[in-house]
Structures are given as structure tokens and as C-alpha cells.
Amino acid sequence: MPSSVIRSFDYDSAAHRLTVTFVTGRRYAYRDVPPTVVEGLRGAPSKGSFFNERIRDLFACERLR
């Protein structure tokens, strides 16, 4: 199901780095994200809600250009 907040995301399992692109076009990389959290995001009926509850403000991140 498409998200009204998240356009796409990609996970580098070797680095445990989650890159999220929002519908606004902004991109952020979240560090040290466990694979189980990413699997939860993949399967979540609401990507935005899952992101807000389980990722945002819980993992260090940086804005990408």
C-alpha cells in the first residue's frame, strides 16, 4: 500500500543503514537500524505510522542532499 508520507526506502543490511525518501523529496539516512525494524516497516499497513513510532527520533540520522 502506498504511503502518504514515505515515497520510498532502501536498506543497506551490511551497514544497517536505512535511507528514507519522503513525498516532499527530502532524504534521510538512519544509522544502526536493525533488520527486524526494517522488516516491520516493509510489512506495516501504515508506513508513516510505523516510521513515527519505531524509527523517527529513535535512531541517529542525517539529511542527504
**Residue 62: in which H helix or E strand, if any?**
strand 61-64
Q: Write out the DSSP string of 4-55.
A: SSEEEEEEETTTTEEEEEETTS-EEEE-S--HHHHHHHHH-S-HHHHHHHHT
Number of CB atoms found within 10 A of residue 21's CB: 15
pLDDT tens-digit series, residues 3-57: 889 999 999 999 999 999 999 999 999 999 999 999 999 999 999 999 999 999 9
Question: 26: Cβ–Cβ under 8 A, 6 or more apart, which residues?
Answer: 63
- What is the pLDDT, as a whole number, of residue 4? 86
- What is the pLDDT, as a whole number, of residue 52? 96
The three cell numbers of residue 5 are 508520507
